[in-house]
Amino acid sequence: MSRALAASGRPIVFSICEWGSTRPWLWAPGIGQLWRTTGDIRDCWDCGNPARGGGVVHIIDLVADLYPYAGPGHWNDPDMLEIGNGGLTVAEERAHFSFWALFAAPLMAGNDLSAMTDETRDILTNREVIAIDQDPLGMQGRKVWNSGSQEVWMKPLADGSRAVILFNRGTEASDITVNWADIGLFPGGQATVRDLWTKTDAGVVSDHYSTHVGPHDVAMLRVTPK
């Protein structure tokens, strides 16, 4: 199939879907441009059979360690987006979209585009988050720190900045801190911090940054060293 598509002379994206059963990230680069990494996603946060895909948080965990295999022209595909389908809270939808962007995953809307709420539209059209997904360096983000239900994830970007997710996996709101050393920046150094969901700037910050994150929610940042 790959050879036939290439011989057509037309630019065609070949998406391989065998639900990750034969670990396509090991053999599919050069054959297709993307491959499904898991079983089908479900419209829920924590449901289904985690070994076969399941809810959003299960998919996040199944894709977490596949970051070495993603890059320009060869992408891990954790399945379509469930934003706007009713099974997730707004916070969970925000986390869902943030992680797919951090994973450099294809962003394929799986909802009825003709009947979106304003909240759904705002999530799916956040240009600053989409820019993280489309960053030309093409690296998939990874987890760099966790303590219980608090996690920090990071994706290097082409301009030397970092996309950062502060993820609250738990059921109670909590403060989460990212230290510059954990994301590959100089400890004690200065960086500008931009919150991509509130669309606000925190200014120049030294050494670390903390913010309050609700349950099953994220803060998504762009951290740029000075």
Position 170 scores a pLDDT of: 97
Q: Give the pLDDT of residue 49.
A: 73
Residue type at 64? A
Predicted local confidence at residue 48, as pLDDT:
74
**pLDDT tens per residue, the chain (226 residues)?**
999 999 999 999 999 999 999 999 999 999 999 999 999 999 999 987 776 679 999 999 999 999 999 999 999 999 999 999 999 999 999 999 999 999 999 999 999 999 999 999 999 999 999 999 999 999 999 999 999 999 999 999 999 999 999 999 999 999 999 999 999 999 999 999 999 999 999 999 999 999 999 999 999 999 999 9
This prediction's pTM: 0.96
Tell me which fold the domain 2-133 belongs to.
TIM Barrel (3.20.20)
Q: Which fold has domain 142-225?
A: Immunoglobulin-like (2.60.40)
How many CB atoms are closer than 10 A to CB 219?
Answer: 24
Token pair, residue 48, equals 């289904």
Contact present, 89 and 57 (Cβ < 8 Å): no
What residues does CATH 2.60.40.1180 cover in the chain? 142-225
Residues of the chain with CATH 3.20.20.70: 2-133
Q: What is the pLDDT of residue 24?
A: 98
